Structure 1
Amino acid sequence: MYIDNYFRDMEEEDICIYDPNEIYELEVEDLPPQCPYRQMVSIMRFPQGSQQPPSPPPNFTPQQPQAQQFGTTSFAVDQGAIQPCLFRFVYIWPRRGRGFWAWLVFVGRRSVSGFRWNMGSWRYFGMDLRQISSFQCF
């Protein structure tokens, strides 16, 4: 009932939609002011300054690891495998799109979030673990 009342008076383009199968740059300015997700991102934008990356990422692009187990690939990256990458530089190769440097501040059962290096600055992002093809911590 709350959702129906909340969205009843909103225009279609103002509704905040989240698709867990996509990679999102969490740009608060692009979300409508009444979107609860915008408010959550605003609070989490730069949580406790100590979690921000200490510097730009390394200035090289690592080689993507090759699939090992007889050419098969897993459906999703395991939470336990990427957990040691918290608060370290990590290069992520998504299933779709180009790889990128990241600084992870959260690893959950199904997703990761942190800062992504994009055009010379760090941007907060979130990503579903199913969308990560491979990664490498540094």
Structure 2
Amino acid sequence: MFFIPQPQVYMRQPQSPPPAFIPPKPEVSYVVDCLYEYTYVWLLNGDNFWFYPTRVEYGEVSGYRWNGAFWMFYGIDPRIIDVVACPPIPTLY
């Protein structure tokens, strides 16, 4: 007997693009507070991008990074993250 792992709901990539705006950069933030949320990430090297974190562990943050066209699975060393922002997404109602 063998087991074929099935994709978990919590590991699936987002089904829509991130918001069209860049949120203000916060003073202090914690990526664990942004799990399963559209999150804007600023790295210490000056890079910044939209990210959808699905897992936070010691020494690793993984999820999906927006490349401008689609979401790609991506992992980050949390030591290189400057700050993150996961703002509420405006709705029509």
TM-score by length of 1: 0.52
Q: Which residue of 2 aligns with 1:124?
A: 73
Q: Deviations over 1:87-118 (max 9, x none)?
A: 11100000113210011111001210000000
Aligned to 1:133: 82
Q: Whose helix fraction is larger, Structure 1's or Structure 2's? A: 1
Cα distance in 2 for residues equivalent to 1:82 and 1:49: 20
Counterpart secondary structure, 2:55: strand
- Paired residue for 2:91? none
Compare the two structures and name the one with the higher strand fraction.
Answer: 2
Q: Name the structure 1 match of 2:8.
A: 48
Report what 1:98 is aligned to. 47
- Using the alignment, how far apart are the partners of 2:49 and 2:9 within structure 1? 22
The structure having more radius of gyration, on CA atoms, is: 1
Structure 1 CA distance, aligned partners of 2:34 and 2:82?
A: 15
- Provide the secondary structure at the position in 2 that maps to 1:130: helix
- The corresponding residue for 1:62 is 23
- Cα separation, partners in 2 of 1:58 and 1:131, compared to 1, 3 Å: same
Q: Which amino acid aligns with 1:88?
A: E
Residue identity opposite 2:15 in structure 1: P
User: Which runs of 4 or more aligned residues in structure 1 lie more than 2 Å from their structure 2 counterparts after TM superposition?
Assistant: 47-51
Shift of 1:65: 2.5
Segments of 5+ residues of structure 2 without an aligned counterpart are 1-6, 88-93
User: What is the number of equivalent residue pairs in this alignment?
Assistant: 80
Identity of aligned residues (%): 39
Q: Secondary structure at the match of 1:124?
A: strand
Q: Which amino acid aligns with 2:80?
A: Q
2:60 counterpart residue number:
111
> What is the CA RMSD across the aligned residues, in angstroms?
1.9
The higher relative CO (CA closer than 8 Å, separation ≥ 6) is in: 2
